[in-house]
Amino acid sequence: MPKINFEKIVKAERNKVFDIAANYEQFQKILPKYFPSIRVLSVRDNTSVVEEHIRIVGRELVMMTKHVTKYPELHEVFVIGGDAKGSHIIERYESIKDGTKITVEADLNLSGPLKLVAFFGRAKIKKGFTKIMDEFAKIAEQ
């Protein structure tokens, strides 16, 4: 399983950054280039089950995910079905002097169209995730 870790500094208040980057229900509307389809299947307290399509490194993944949030500091994604079943992504949001530091840790279990990309190009996958976080940062900084 490829592991990807990176940090992103966003020049915006933590609650605002979290409200945008962990609001998966709005991903299709605010970032259709990366999220062509999002369908929330169930919501209970801070846990949701979502069917999502995500475009990364020129491929589209179809996944069933469980999102767990601890506002405004933690967003976890467990991939429970589909192209990346078994993957786990943790996003941590920390208030810092100039805004918010986002730390992303991803343990990816890729199959289907990204299996070979994962084997030969972990840097491409990391770059794909980083681009998505860059887009969230632009929105939060406006």
* Per-residue pLDDT reduced to its tens digit, 76-89: 999 999 988 999 99
Mean pLDDT of 124-128: 82
Of 5, 3, 12, 52, the residue nearest 32 (C-alpha): 52
* Residue 114 pLDDT level (bands cut at 50, 70, 90): low
The domain tally of the chain equals 1
Q: Which CATH number is 70's domain given?
A: 3.30.530.20
The pTM assigned to this predicted structure is 0.90
What does the alpha-carbon distance between residue 79 and residue 114 come to, in Å, rounded to a whole number? 15
Q: What is the DSSP letter of 41?
A: E
Domain range for residue 19? Answer: 3-141
Residue with tokens 């192209």: 83
Other Cβ atoms less than 10 A from the Cβ of 67: the count is: 21
Amino acid identity of residue 43, one-letter, is V
User: Does the pLDDT value for residue 33 go beyond 70?
Assistant: yes
Among 54-63, 66-75, 111-120, 128-137, the range with the most confident prediction by mean pLDDT is: 66-75
What does the alpha-carbon distance between residue 79 and residue 88 come to, in Å, rounded to a whole number? 6
* Residue 104 pLDDT level (bands cut at 50, 70, 90): very high
